[in-house]
Chain A
């Protein structure tokens, strides 16, 4: 492997955007020391304390200040440390950032990015492990991105920073060390375009973020039993690439959605509903949603495991469906 990691992708994307556009700046807690996961390592030394800003522990004001700063023409990149803490800034994200442009009739734009590390990672417990994407996708005005690969950690963050709408950018903590192919160019990703990570004719699996890797592993297991699953990585959840999903399911006639988040009322339900509305009479099996049970994430290893879907469950769903 080239050694280009997910964390490197994120760091490089931000550095290049800070370099390219003097209006871009980052703010959050402990950024001077590199951020909780070192995803900001070296950036304050390089760009100074006014472009990579250490803030008080004031999530509401980190987000609210970013809204004000965006309204006067700068482009803030907000660090929320853990996605869970973005809940301390929900008013600022949902009522201010997402609504500002609309309720003032287009007078102001809020081009901010909120980086929210998500997901189950090393027994972090109930308040440091959530994946709340469906909350944000539900809010008109927000763009939601969730890279699964190192190349996307780079290209999607760049796209988020250049986007003129507010973007919730979900980075999976378990993926920081993941290494993979470096991006082929320094171009930002196209928002709203999914990637087919594995082609297959029998079943379509839709996933995003870390669940993509579990779906790929499940597809490999299912292939040993002769079932070929197509794995779609959504990459961005709003907008999401319904055309890609519908085209795939129109071929395979079978759909599984695999998400790490709690299944009930999750984003997977949106995908199943959309596919059923468009293709319900052509499906050869009932669509399946896989996700966490509606429980908080437990600390102890077996409790944490009870939360996760995992490749085995997905593989069983694939072979069960194709039977």
Chain B
């Protein structure tokens, strides 16, 4: 942007500011957003080290040091919720993360434009249904006399209330998650597919590559940077298992496999008024996420040459 010749004598920062003033003005709202909504609230993380009482305020409350962290690590349920959080996250990384990529590839291979559009619309529809409704549907479908069980019964199996089986909870969670998000998340990959140079395919066909070979050697490498970025972003949220859905679906009998850090934080913080305890647990969660994000980014930069920063 620095096309005009700067006047001599003035400080170079001021000069830069003068020259690009419109760009800087345009940046203000974005900066303000981050400061107000992302950095200022970090001050509230202080309460993790205090016995917070809203009436005394954050500064007025008593310091308790690491007491809440100790309570959490020493808690009877600590290992269970940590394990569940990690397991559910890993499962969704393994099963849910590739699903939209596969869908995008499949849609890309279809010739009929009409079919493409219809398939896309149908798959991303569930994303717009409210979560509460989704969970209501899941509960009804998995009931002892729900649709899914009726199908099993037709095949000669016994019907059983699936949400009462701890061993089925994760499968139900991940499968419904895929159903809900696959179409929506595939959009970004489809967009990436569009940008691949069509001439490469022509050249490959000339050389006698089958469709499968084309996918393997042109399409996949073409969207690999997108996949890598999405993967890194995902790592940063690895431990943030969506608590709303867990809370709507779990019950005491499935705590064993369903209770995760965020649902635990919800119960402690909102139902038992343990603000400080909750934010200590939340802070712990965020620190781990940060570490995961940084390492994923580092590995990706080394291996893949594409990274977030």
Asked if chains A and B come from one complex, the reply is no
